[in-house]
Chains A and B, each alone.
Chain A
Amino acid sequence: MKPSDIGILIVDDEASVRDALFKWFKFDGYRVDTAEDATIALQKLQANLWDIVLLDIKMPGMDGLELQRRIKQIDKSIITIIITAFASVDTSIQALKEGAFDYIVKPVDPDDMSHLIRNAVEQRRLIYENIQLRQQIEEISFPEEIVGESPALKKVMEKVSTVAQTDSTVMIRGESGTGKELIARAIHSNSNRRYFPIITINCGAYTEGLLESELFGHEKGAFTGALYRRRGKLEMADKGTIFLDEIGNIGHKMQMDLLRVIETREFTRLGGDRVVNVDFRVICATNRDLEKAVREGSFREDLYYRLNVFSITLPLLRERKSDIALIARFFIKKYAQSMNKNVSDLSPETLEVLLRYEWPGNVRELRNVIERAIVVAKGNFIEVNDLSFPSPATVKTTEEDSLEEIEKSQIKKILDRTGGNIAQAANILKISRLTLYNKIEKYQLKK
């Protein structure tokens, strides 16, 4: 910022003080103006933008303290500096408590004045830079687009919009691949914490000991290999959001520790004794039946109630079939661009197959199928032959399918669901194990 970018307003009932300061700042190249009382000062504040206001504490009519309060209502980022005589130091301290940047006691040493204004200008520059950076964050902080127009998804987004503005803990439920992390990021991006980080931790990916270290951090020497102090993810999420994915997979000790942290917002790092205070919002996710886990005793009831303040359940992809075309086309555009391929759409037959498929892996699976298809596609359209499904038997049958095809598809589905357990599959299918073995051989299905 150049000096001419900074506006300084001088408010003092003494003309000699106004004139002296006016010249002093003018010679430094600032944009300067004066006001003999609070009323004129307020008029000038409304009419123009000011960065720094020097105001006398004792003036006839509205005094400097009240004027400062009004200034902060107009724009709390304006730097105010109080001018006072020795007898008014107490009031000046009050002004500092109410947000004044500093105060000067008349007469002031020129060097002190020079430093004060330099510091005030730097403060103003930092405030301005902060505002600009926040605006940039607003522009770029939108997470990967949540695609879909189905009623089921609209309901979810309404809930996201409602809960984002609060600080409530959110529990996101949904099967694998339904977009739980995407929803967590959407909540964070629409919250007041969006200028601070969202830190993700997959609770299911760690052993209990490692998870403890990841979450709480550790001091140097806390365990073998702990060569340095390390901040945990809870600390990194300070003022932001912590997203605990697969929360249903944490052990009993971690559940207890987590409950304490969520309630007190305090913890110590592993191997340490200094209490660390943090301020974060909790979003968690699970694909487990937590209510059942609570009933069975594998998940603490008190933690469950702490986490389940606001619940959002994500629909399966097959429950919002009307979104499949939209989502597929979204991924086609994304991957065609990144792979520099001229693929623009799906053929009608391909779309038909996608709509019939059950999508056990949900949106993540659809994404993978499209990405793979774009790699192999030769023309502008993704054809049926370009598709490759990990579980072909989960293609839903239609009226045109024969009895054998329907039987084969059903047996395959049940075997997949039971993980190849013949006894369980036979029980579900209401056939004997011998019959099932025969059918597996007939249709050349893997056990």
Chain B
Amino acid sequence: MSYIYIIPIETSPLFWFEPLTAGIFRAFGMRTKCVKFSMDISKAFDPLRQQYNSSHLLSRLIDRPLADADKVLGVAEVDLFIPILTFVFGEAQLEGPGAIVSTHRLNNKFYGLPENQTLLAQRIVKESLHELGHTFGLLHCSSPGCVLNSSTYVEDIDQKSEELCPQCQQQINIT
């Protein structure tokens, strides 16, 4: 049996792990394992931007082979970027093993708003399912409620559901 491994990076999974596990099972029918391992993320840090290079962190994540891991999802508290863009919510390999999400800009605190743990957990679940969807070969979906719909603002994430639309489900053969 293979699992989706969840790896917290510079963060604690206390309040979002259960909802994420449930969300992954609902969306992909797979069970999860949470693994903590130490990872030196300093090499991914860009001092000019004060952000972490998402692609570097992703390649570090999948560096360590895990025997029964079908997919690996890193959940980081740090702010992520890719060159050319000011930030990313996450990154994934299309039909590959690895994905990473950042909770940094999903947190109301970043926008100067009162913190909301429930809302943060929902956002983490949606972003994670979105990036994991790419690892299963799904592209962005034009259906507004589908979790694979592209989001460039955190409000966009709030608008969509935690579900894959029927077409996306069909594409990855989930009934």
Contact = CB atoms under 8 A, between A and B. Distances in A.
A106 B84 contact: yes
Interface in A87-136: 106-111, 113-114
A19 B55 contact: yes
B140 A107 contact: no
B83 A107 contact: yes
A28 interface: yes
Contacts of B82: 16, 20, 23-24
A17 B53 CA distance: 12
A21 B134 CA distance: 16
Given A28-B139, A111-B153, A20 B85 contact: yes
B81 interface: yes
A58 interface: no
B119 to A, nearest CB: 20
Interface in B66-86: 81-86
A83 interface: yes
> Which of B84, B86, B94, B134 has most A Cβ within 10 Å?
B84
A103 to B, nearest CB: 13
B-side binding surface: helix, strand, loop or mixed? Answer: loop
Contacts of A106: 83-84
B156 to A, nearest CB: 9
A28 B85 contact: no
A27 B130 CA distance: 11
Interface string A4-25: 0000000000101101110110
A229 interface: no
Contacts of B94: 23, 26-27
Nearest to A21: B84
A20 B84 contact: yes
Contacts of A83: 84
Given A106-B84, A109-B86, A27 B134 contact: yes
B140 A110 contact: no
Contacts of A107: 49, 81, 83-86
B150 interface: yes
B136 interface: no
B87 interface: yes
B83 A17 contact: yes
B152 interface: yes
Nearest to B130: A27
B152 A29 contact: no
Contacts of B134: 27
Contacts of A110: 85-88, 152
B140 A28 contact: yes
Decide if the interface of chain A is mainly helix, strand, loop or mixed: helix
Contacts of A113: 84-85, 152
Nearest to A54: B84
Contacts of B152: 109-111, 113-114
Nearest to A83: B84
A20 B55 contact: yes
Nearest to A2: B142
Interface in B41-96: 49, 55, 81-88, 91, 94
B83 A20 contact: yes
A372 B115 CA distance: 88
A301 B104 CA distance: 82
Contacts of B87: 110
A14 B84 CA distance: 10
A108 B152 CA distance: 12
Contact of B150 (A16, A20, A28): A28
B55 A108 contact: no
Interface in B12-55: 49, 55
A108 B84 contact: yes
A55 to B, nearest CB: 13
A28 B140 CA distance: 5
A3 to B, nearest CB: 8
Contacts of A27: 94, 134, 139-140, 150
A110 B91 CA distance: 13
Nearest to B138: A27
Interface string A181-212: 00000000000000000000000000000000
B98 to A, nearest CB: 13
A17 B82 CA distance: 8
A116 to B, nearest CB: 11
A204 B141 CA distance: 63
A83 B81 CA distance: 17
A3 B167 CA distance: 17
Given A26-B94, A28-B139, A108 B86 contact: yes
Given A28-B150, A106-B84, 17 more contacts: A17-B84, A20-B55, A24-B82, A26-B139, A27-B94, A27-B134, A28-B139, A29-B139, A29-B140, A106-B83, A109-B85, A109-B86, A109-B152, A110-B85, A110-B88, A113-B85, A114-B152
23 contacts: A16-B55, A17-B84, A20-B83, A20-B84, A21-B84, A23-B91, A26-B139, A27-B134, A106-B83, A107-B83, A108-B84, A108-B86, A109-B86, A110-B85, A110-B86, A110-B87, A110-B88, A111-B152, A111-B153, A113-B84, A113-B85, A114-B150, A114-B152
Interface of B: 49, 55, 81-88, 91, 94, 134, 139-140, 150, 152-153
Interface of A: 14, 16-17, 19-21, 23-24, 26-29, 83, 106-111, 113-114
